[in-house]
Amino acid sequence: MRPALRRGFTLVELLLVLLIIALASGLVSLALRDGDAVALDREAQRLAALLESGRAEARATGVAARFELVPEGDPGGGSFRFTGLAPAPPGQWLVAEVRAQIDRGNALRLGPEPLIGAQRITLRLKDQTRVLATDGLAPFAVLDTEAARP
């Protein structure tokens, strides 16, 4: 009698191949995060840090400080500016396509008062949106996108 020939794959071998494919596709999908989302997250974190440093300087020096958006085509250049702070922090976005809108006004008041009132600014890059806000006492922070929707 001849021994039976083995044909095909065992169930364990098939499951192992499927597991390897699933792990590889999961790692690739994590590595391919949207570049616009990453850039806007970086801009939002940077702006929050700039606003908080401006706020701290305004309180420490007792000088009124504001954050203002520069209109398109303004001869002074830049995308935004801090008034009342010396030396002024940088006034350019890291990504030139970023657009910002200050809710309920044209400037953010940074101090010198410790309680500055609730304020929000919305950053946009293509179809991505981030909202920075403060309740007036807490630091400026990036809000959760779901919580930021009215």
Q: For the residues 11-18, what does the mean pLDDT come to? A: 92
**Residue 81 or 2, more confident:** 81
Q: Look up residue 113 and give its amino acid.
A: E
Phi-psi region for residue 9, left (φ > 0), alpha (ψ -120 to 50) or beta? beta
Interval 84-133: pLDDT, tens: 988 877 888 888 899 999 998 889 999 999 899 999 999 999 999 999 99
> According to DSSP H, which parts of the chain are helical?
11-31, 35-61, 145-148
β-pairing, 99-102 vs 80-83, is unpaired
Model confidence at 3: pLDDT above 80: no
Q: Express each pLDDT in 64-79 by its tens digit.
A: 999 999 887 666 667 8
Tokens of 68: 């203002």
How far apart CA 47 and CA 100 sit, in angstroms, is 11
Nearest Cα to Cα of residue 142 among 14, 8, 66, 45: 45
Cα–Cα distance, 98 to 43 (Å, whole number): 8
Distance CA 12, CA 14 (A): 5
**Amino acid type, 117:** G
pLDDT digits (tens, 9 = 90+) for 22-74: 999 988 877 776 788 889 999 999 999 999 999 999 999 999 999 999 887 66
Please choose, from the candidates 117, 122, 119, the residue with its C-alpha nearest in 3D space to the C-alpha of residue 104: 119
CA 136 to chain centre: 20
The fourth-level CATH superfamily of domain 35-148 is: minor pseudopilin epsh domain (3.55.40.10)
